[in-house]
Amino acid sequence: MIRDELPPTEALDQPPDAPPGLMARFRNYFLTGLIVAGPVAITMYLTWWFVTWVDNLVRPFVPIAYRPETYLPFGLPGSGLIVAVIALTLLGFLAANLIGRTLVDLGERLLGRMPVVRAIYRGLKQVFETLFSGKGSSFRRVGLVEFPSPGMWSIVLISQSPSVSIAAKLPGQEEHISVFLPCAPNPTTGFFFYVPKSKIVEVDMSTEDAATLIMSAGVVQPGSDPQKRNAALAGMANAARAAHSSELQPSPAKVD
């Protein structure tokens, strides 16, 4: 008895290497345009939002006689940002001198006498000194920890060691390190926790590459060659097409 196992007629009507249709081409062109224009548009929007925000923040402190819109029929975007940069530079120059340091010390002593403002000011000052002084090591190293379960590894940004009071309460005798685990695709949110130093696997990766990897949810791998990545994607597509075409081919007859 001979049984011929043939695929459905609808599958044989379409050849495996048929050219893509109009809708498929339209989709591919649309996605390509979105990939090209999306990052540029978002970057320009965020830049414009930041410049506008700084202008609206600084403009009330600038006298009307010194505003560009007083002499021009339109406002000049970025003028407030320029004023802010010059003012911060002058403030840093004054703070580096003896008179400036004296005024800063008086201001800090005044804020130190306010119960609620004192804690906020000290915390913000430590954060800004750590991030912008260039002397600290916070968030300059990238590591891996087993989270959220054994066998699953997550990227973390390594921070400082815990304070003496917190380290005394942590179990065990091993040194702990504070780490921050960003969430995808928004790396500004995440989890902060202390982990034993031996449980951290440091990775030779910059924080910028780690942020890109997290925001892209693993799509953009750091250090990967675009040509090799495209070649790998093309190879996967060819393999999928070959597998699909093999499924469409009639199978040999079986003889019982």
- pLDDT at 241 (0 to 100): 55
Taking the C-alpha atoms of residue 118 and residue 140, their distance in angstroms, rounded to an integer, is: 28
**Dihedral over Cα of 157, 161, 163, 168: its sign:** positive
How does DSSP classify residue 75? Answer: -
Q: How far apart are CA 144 and CA 205, in angstroms?
A: 11
Going from the first residue of the chain to its last (256 residues), give the mean pLDDT of each consecutive group of 10, the final group possibly shorter. 49 53 84 86 90 89 83 82 88 78 80 79 72 60 87 87 84 86 81 88 84 78 59 51 53 49
Phi/psi at 193 (5° precision)? -155, 165
**What phi and psi values does residue 194 have, to the nearest 5 degrees?**
-100, 135
Q: What angle do CA 41, 213, 241 make, to 5 degrees?
A: 85
Strands annotated E in 148-218 = 153-158, 176-182, 190-196, 201-203
Among positive and negative, which fits the CA dihedral 95, 100, 104, 105? positive
**What is the reported pTM?**
0.51
Task: Provide the 10 A C-beta neighbour count for residue 19.
Answer: 7
pLDDT at residue 151, rounded to an integer: 85
- C-alpha to C-alpha distance for 50 and 59, rounded to whole angstroms: 14
Residue 48's pLDDT is 92
Q: What is the SS3 assignment for 235?
A: helix
Phi first, then psi: give them for residue 180, nearest 5 degrees. -120, 125
Residue 80 CA to residue 62 CA, distance in Å, equals 8
